[in-house]
């Protein structure tokens, strides 16, 4: 079965803070579709460490926790076997982000880096069209 992978971003808390990015999977192109959201959230330690989070049956254009929806970008069509691997990619990418934060400093890497790692991996595996990473890199990042 074919699904659709989206980058979704949410309003930043201030004009100088990063927007929250998440990946969403839907089975419809409809903007009112329900999605499975993949994201990372702070682990509560205040040390710049994150944990993967999966939320099911979330409105594609809905609020995510404290974050108000702002925009989205369709990344491409994906198949069910890729969706199954998405949680594994998510966990690996959060490990990379957390390791980078431990080495370089608190908050140096965030949800946007996590998305970029996953999209790069999916594009390198030819599961997303060539050029997808470049499109993601041009999406709004700050306030």
Residue 63: count other Cβ atoms within 10 Å of its Cβ: 12
Rg (CA), the chain: 14
pLDDT at 101: 87
Would you say residue 143 lies in a domain? no
Considering the domain boundaries, does residue 8 fall inside one? Answer: yes
111: alpha, beta or left, given left = phi > 0 and alpha = psi -120 to 50?
alpha
Residue 24 near residue 44 (C-beta atoms within 8 A): no
Mean pLDDT score, 47-69: 88
**Pairing mode, if any, of strands 20-26 and 69-79?**
unpaired
Q: Is residue 129 part of a domain?
A: yes
Instruction: Answer yes or no: is 114 within a domain.
Output: yes
The domain tally of the chain equals: 1
State how far the Cα of 43 lies from the Cα of 57, in Å rounded to an integer: 23
- 42's tokens: 């702070």
Q: Does residue 98 form part of some domain?
A: yes
CA distances to 34, 36, 60, 66 from 56, in Å: 8, 4, 10, 17
Tell me whether residue 142 is in a domain: no
Encode pLDDT of 67-93 as tens digits: 899 999 999 999 988 888 898 999 999
Helices (H) and strands (E) in the chain, counts: 3, 5
**Opening angle at CA 38, ends 48 and 80, nearest 5:** 145
112 domain-assigned: yes
Range of the domain at 91: 2-137
pTM score of the predicted model: 0.92
Q: Please answer whether residues 59 and 35 qualify as being in contact, where contact means their C-beta atoms are separated by less than 8 angstroms.
A: yes
- Encode pLDDT of 116-133 as tens digits: 999 999 999 999 999 999
Q: Quick one: pLDDT at residue 111?
A: 92
């Amino acid at each position: 079965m074919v699904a659709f992978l989206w980058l979704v971003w949410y309003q930043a808390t201030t004009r100088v803070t990063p927007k929250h990015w998440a990946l969403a999977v839907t089975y419809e192109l409809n903007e009112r579709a329900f999605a499975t959201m993949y994201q990372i959230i702070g682990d509560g330690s205040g040390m710049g460490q994150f944990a993967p989070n999966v939320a099911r049956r979330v409105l594609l254009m809905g609020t995510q926790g404290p974050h108000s929806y702002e925009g989205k970008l369709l990344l491409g069509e994906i198949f069910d076997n890729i969706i199954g691997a998405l949680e594994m990619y998510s966990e690996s990418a959060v490990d990379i982000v957390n390791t980078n934060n431990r080495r370089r400093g608190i908050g140096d890497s965030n949800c946007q880096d996590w998305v970029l790692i996953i999209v790069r991996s999916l594009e390198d595996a030819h599961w997303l069209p060539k050029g997808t990473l470049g499109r993601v890199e041009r999406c709004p990042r700050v306030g």
